[in-house]
Structure 1
Amino acid sequence: MTDYDVLRVFCGPSGGYGNELGVVREGSVLPERSDRQELAAKLGFSETVFVDDPERGVIDIYTPTRRLPFAGHPCVGTAWLLDVPELVTPAGVVGVRLDGEFSWIEARAEWAPPHTLRRYASAAEVDALEVPPPGERSETGVPSDEVRGLYAWAWEDEAAGRVRARAFPGRAGGTEEDEATGAAALLLTDQLGRALNITQGRGSQILTAPQPHGWVEVGGRVFLER
């Protein structure tokens, strides 16, 4: 089996929760995309990262079913692991900064995989949602095979920018519910145009902040699981 690290990204204040991420530091051991896709499917994480150049931060991201040009929690986790000033993804160069217990990336909303952002009236309504069947995880009118996740959210405290959210990957997603979704948080921040403090899943925390010229910062805590 190829060696890989397991991180938890966007952990809560006590260090719990977070979304697991697999990182293959020596991407050269699996240079072919088909082999990378096979390993990502076998590992079963929502995303697996292959590092092609640890000094320059060149990375390649896969879900269990497809390759992604960019994804939020893989970039935050890998940035923390490699401790580099930037990451190079197929979508573009992702800025990185480490600030105390938080690791931050800076990216653009158009790089993020599409999500349906659906607002609910209260956090309690979001908490009460059942996981929808794969073909029903996006708005009516979107084809059932569309690779689009549903991001359900509500204000917990609008004045303070506190949001409650849950994410359900689209038909091609590898999990029934995503514990912490940086790309969707990026899209929501771009849409609302303000900094957010998001509690997602069982208790993960994602921080965001809009930046000039269409950029958005996404940050959170990262822990090495194994």
Structure 2
Amino acid sequence: MPPVTDYDVLRVFCGPHGGYGNELGVVRNGAVMPEREERQEFAAKLGFSETVFVDDPERGVIDIYTPTLRLPFAGHPCVGTAWLIDVPELVVPAGVMGARQDGEFCWIEARAEWVPPRTLRQYATAAEVDDLPVPPKGEWVYAWAWLDEAAGRVRARAFPGRDDGIDEDEATGAAALLLTDRLGRALNITQGTGSQILTAPQPEGWTEIGGRVYLER
């Protein structure tokens, strides 16, 4: 592995005032680290919930890793990278998705069948979600409750259940996509300590996921 690799750090799905959001590492020049084993090692070294390698910035071809595995699709890495390289679409192993900028929000369009299995667990109140301990390893749990059902406002927390040092994900677009697909309606999700994820069902099984992105360094 090269001793120094340039990468950007973004925060994706930030709150209304720019805080919170889930950190993301992006290696803009994926060619510096072409081998999958190198990429996995580098993602583990950075320790973010996900790290992205951009393999073709013009076509939007990207490769996504957690500290322990490669992903065919993930929400916050796709939203963050779409914002960073400003392309009309992204290409991931799961498929090709549209991307767009809309004022302070960046959006992608993806499909529920691209998302690995998740347990969507509804609670009666947001306070119950707030008070949850980290569940045992092995099950990927998206805990949620209505803040205002009529307005589509949701409180959520995400527990990946993996042995990679990340007990809770601050903001997870893929899980938000699954919840949106199940409920069949647009959602305004407050996740983690204060991140915001917006979603909207689209025709033919697509779902839009949007949020604010900030360049950390």
Instruction: Please tell me the residue identity of whatever aligns with 2:86.
Output: D
Deviations 1:25-46 (A, max 9, x none): 0000000000000000000000
Q: Percent identity?
A: 83
Which residue of structure 2 lines up, in the alignment, with residue 204 of structure 1? 195
Deviations 1:88-139 (A, max 9, x none): 101000110100000000000010122100000000000010112324xx3x
Unaligned runs of 5+ in 1: 139-148
Contact 1:122 1:156 in 2 (8 A): yes
Which residue of structure 2 lines up, in the alignment, with residue 32 of structure 1? 35
Measured on the aligned residues, the alpha-carbon RMSD in Å equals 0.8
Q: Which of 196, 209, 217 is the aligned partner of 1:218? A: 209
CA distance in 2: counterparts of 1:85 and 1:112, whole angstroms:
21
Deviation of 1:171 after TM superposition, in Å, equals 2.6
Deviations 1:3-31 (A, max 9, x none): 10000000000000000000000000000
Kindly indicate whether residue 146 of structure 2 is the aligned counterpart of residue 155 of structure 1: yes
Which residue of structure 1 lines up, in the alignment, with residue 10 of structure 2? 7
Contact 2:135 2:161 in 1 (8 A): no
SS at match of 1:134: coil
Instruction: Please tell me the residue identity of whatever aligns with 1:225.
Output: E
Contact 1:96 1:106 in 2 (8 A): yes
Instruction: Please tell me the residue identity of whatever aligns with 1:27.
Output: G
CA distance in 1: counterparts of 2:97 and 2:43, whole angstroms:
22
Change (3 A) 1:133 1:126: same
Contact 1:46 1:174 in 2 (8 A): no
CA distance in 1: counterparts of 2:60 and 2:161, whole angstroms:
29
CA distance in 2: counterparts of 1:192 and 1:10, whole angstroms:
21
How many residues are paired up? 214
CA distance in 2: counterparts of 1:78 and 1:160, whole angstroms:
29
TM (normalized to structure 1)?
0.93
CA distance in 2: counterparts of 1:195 and 1:166, whole angstroms:
18
Which residue of structure 2 lines up, in the alignment, with residue 129 of structure 1? 132
Contact 1:164 1:198 in 2 (8 A): yes
Which residue of structure 2 lines up, in the alignment, with residue 188 of structure 1? 179
Contact 1:117 1:151 in 2 (8 A): yes
Deviation of 1:173 after TM superposition, in Å, equals 5.0
Which residue of structure 1 lines up, in the alignment, with residue 155 of structure 2? 164
Change (3 A) 1:151 1:195: same
Deviation of 1:170 after TM superposition, in Å, equals 2.1
Instruction: Please tell me the residue identity of whatever aligns with 2:8.
Output: D
CA distance in 2: counterparts of 1:128 and 1:32, whole angstroms:
42
Unaligned runs of 5+ in 2: none
CA distance in 2: counterparts of 1:187 and 1:173, whole angstroms:
23
Kindly indicate whether residue 113 of structure 2 is the aligned counterpart of residue 101 of structure 1: no
CA distance in 1: counterparts of 2:187 and 2:8, whole angstroms:
29
Q: Which of 37, 57, 61 is the aligned partner of 2:60? A: 57
CA distance in 2: counterparts of 1:26 and 1:40, whole angstroms:
15
Change (3 A) 1:27 1:85: same
After TM superposition, the structure 1 = structure 2 runs for residues 64-103 of structure 1, keeping only pairs within 5 Å, are 64-103=67-106
